[in-house]
Structure 1
Amino acid sequence: MNWDERRQIVKVSTLYYFEGMTQAEIAKKIGVSRPLISKLLNKAREHGIVEIYIKDENAHTVELENRLEKKYGLKEAIVVPSAGRSPEMVKHSLGKAASVYVSKNIGDKKSLGISWGTTLAKFVEEYPYETHQELKVIPLVGGMGRKLVEVHSNLLAYQLAQKMNTTCSYLYAPAMVENEELKKRLVESEDISMVLEEGRNVNMAVVGMGTPFEQSTMTTMDYLKEDHLKALKEAGAVGDIGSRFFDQHGQQIKHPLNDMVIGLDIEEYKKIPELIGIVEGTHKAEGIKAALKGGYLNVLVIDDKTASLIL
């Protein structure tokens, strides 16, 4: 590149980036064609004469989003910053981000599924008041019991339906029962079988993901005991969606606990046209990676630290 060409590149770049002139205006000013201006601007970047930086905290998260979408074939990834924020604050941010996404994309869909958990409770809390009278909210897993009632699927479905000015169904059963005989009786009852069928046919769903071994809501609610945790580890469990446990490849593990769940089967989640996962916490990284490998999610809402770990 000779001195004159370099000088022209610097001049064009100054007019474009600092003076705010359009390519057509620059071409007219210096008496050349617009395609030549475009070519000179490209050369400015290629030769390091012009370097473009985005000075905003979102630049970091947008880069992570692009990498997640490419690596896992996601329709969309939404990454929220976590620096200087407590896990509770991060969950609020995730809930807000997910609520904005659902609000923008719910359109004329007829049904929205929801599972359960602390992060989903934040999603419902952050959801704006809207009117979707043609929509119905469906719980995807049982939600009864005395502990942590505020994160049960039935309550979340009810609260979300209130915010959307619409109706919901109720799955009158716990997430997990004591034995297969009881499960058989429950899922064969008309009320429960009807809601499960509604769940299988939702147009969009929002789910959380957990790990049974650390900060587990299922352990807090006494669904999982010490002997369960040991057996799950031996079976290769790394995470769960809708209380269904899967291994590092995203495949449902063979374990009696998976047979005790009142809710959608893990393979049925794959058939939901748009499944949005909301996840917080680096301790869930292995499970999230496995779920993405398994092809369960179309959209992932995640904090930046955890996003970095799964890339």
Structure 2
Amino acid sequence: MSDGYTPVVGLDTAELMVKVARLYHERGMKQQAIAEQLHLSQSRVSRLLKQAAAQGIVRVSVVPPAGLEPDLEDEVRDRYGLRDVVVVRTGSLNSEEMLPALGGVAGRYIEATLTGEDVVGLSSWSRTLLRAVDAMSIGRTRLATAVVQLIGGVGRAKAQLDATRLASRLCEVTGAEPYLLNVPGLVSTAAARDALLADPNFVRTAERWRDVTVALVGVGSLSPSPLLRDSGNSVSEDEVESLRALGAVGDVVLKFVDSEGRRVGADLDQRTVSIDQETYLRIPRRLGVAGGEEKFEAIRAMLRGGWLNVLITDDTTARRLVATSD
């Protein structure tokens, strides 16, 4: 017929499924157009497409672009029971050299996954997160309602500039209201910490910790990063040795854990101005950005202990995580 009508009288269900599937998937026709052309109801076209998929007549194949590692991401996610994993190909780059790559991917991921209603918790002393927020662009749409520091953000002058820029930049690109901790992350005595906890500015920020929907954190190895070390917020060498004797391999917001992700050195909390463990572990999305050989033990421990449920890391670290998950 000249109007393109294709009669379907006498076609059995299998033939009809193939015909509908080819029109939909190969020719890109909409279901309504297929229904009109074949003189079927649109609901029947929809059912035939579902049947075609269920019976293997239609098989969808996803071909990832070069540079992506979806299978490896799935393996890490499934082995550790995570919500999501992003793997960044960094080849033979060392930990210092891979910072821009990890940070750039993390920035784009954060932009894409914030809902506009999120309350973002932020650790203060992460160079990778600093790279991430620098990679984010200012848009017209608000990405979060609040940015809340999870650990004290005051330190020595040079490092303090970076910590302030991290929080300020994240507020700028997300359109969020800042809740900052204008106090050190680590103080000399429990009495000094108690005095800070009574400060109204601290209370204002700490009250928002229970509202945080996504935490953005770096993962620290037992040896502090240059930014944390320069900030004056890192533990002393004697304390590092004590933590090592307890089996510590790394930390998130100065919460140290052993290789199985179990908390050690909790007495340090008496001098740490940061979110408490219970509140932190209730945050729905706990996103860590970290990679490199010296961070491997700490990253694996954080995954084993549930301290992170979203991970952005390099491909070498991801393969090691799959090979040594048990």
Q: TM-score, normalised by structure 2?
A: 0.74
| Structure 1 residues 183 and 71: CA distance shift in structure 2, 3 A | same
Report if aligned partners of 2:160, 2:231 keep a CA contact under 8 Å in 1.
Answer: no
Q: Does 1:104 align with 2:112?
A: yes
CA displacement 1:237-258 (0-9 Å, x = unmatched): 1110011111222122135333
| Structure 1 residues 87 and 229: CA distance shift in structure 2, 3 A | same
**1:310 CA drift (Å):** 1.6
CA displacement 1:214-257 (0-9 Å, x = unmatched): 65643343432221211110122111001111122212213533
Q: Does 1:273 align with 2:247?
A: no
Task: Provide the aligned C-alpha RMSD in A.
Answer: 2.8
| Structure 1 residues 135 and 53: CA distance shift in structure 2, 3 A | closer
Bigger drift between 85-94 and 184-193 goes to 85-94
| Structure 1 residues 225 and 53: CA distance shift in structure 2, 3 A | same
Q: Does 1:176 align with 2:186?
A: yes
**1:93 CA drift (Å):** 1.8
Q: Does 1:77 align with 2:76?
A: no
- Give the SS at the match of 1:276: strand
Aligned to 1:129: 138
Alignment of 1:56-95 (within 5 A): 56-58=66-68, 61-95=69-103
**Distance across 2 between alignment mates of 1:100 and 1:198:** 25
**1:109 CA drift (Å):** 1.6
**1:125 CA drift (Å):** 0.7
Bigger drift between 112-121 and 77-86 goes to 77-86
Q: Does 1:302 align with 2:310?
A: no
Equivalent residue for 1:143, pick from 149, 153, 156 = 153
Aligned to 1:167: 177
**Distance across 2 between alignment mates of 1:245 and 1:268:** 16
Identity of aligned residues (%): 27
**1:89 CA drift (Å):** 4.3
Q: What code does the residue aligned with 2:77 have? A: E
Q: What code does the residue aligned with 1:211 have? A: S
- Give the SS at the match of 1:112: strand
CA displacement 1:39-82 (0-9 Å, x = unmatched): 7999xxxxxxxxx9978332xx2222010111111111000011
Task: Could you tell me which runs of 5 or more consecutive residues in structure 1 were left unpaired when the two chains were aligned.
Answer: 1-21, 26-33, 43-51
| Structure 1 residues 23 and 254: CA distance shift in structure 2, 3 A | same
Aligned to 2:201: 191
Aligned to 2:257: 246
Q: What code does the residue aligned with 2:111 have? A: S
**Distance across 1 between alignment mates of 2:171 and 2:295:** 29
Q: What code does the residue aligned with 2:288 have? A: G
**Distance across 2 between alignment mates of 1:114 and 1:271:** 15
- Give the SS at the match of 2:244: helix
Q: TM-score, normalised by structure 1?
A: 0.77
**Distance across 2 between alignment mates of 1:67 and 1:169:** 37
- Give the SS at the match of 1:310: helix
Q: What code does the residue aligned with 1:235 have? A: L
**Distance across 2 between alignment mates of 1:287 and 1:267:** 20
Task: Could you tell me which runs of 5 or more consecutive residues in structure 2 were left unpaired when the two chains were aligned.
Answer: 1-19, 24-50
| Structure 1 residues 113 and 55: CA distance shift in structure 2, 3 A | closer
Q: What code does the residue aligned with 2:71 have? A: E
Q: What code does the residue aligned with 1:288 have? A: I
Bigger drift between 76-85 and 90-99 goes to 90-99
- Give the SS at the match of 2:216: strand
- Give the SS at the match of 2:208: helix
**Distance across 2 between alignment mates of 1:134 and 1:78:** 21
| Structure 1 residues 215 and 274: CA distance shift in structure 2, 3 A | closer
Aligned to 1:45: none
**How many residues were matched structurally?**
269
**Distance across 2 between alignment mates of 1:215 and 1:169:** 24
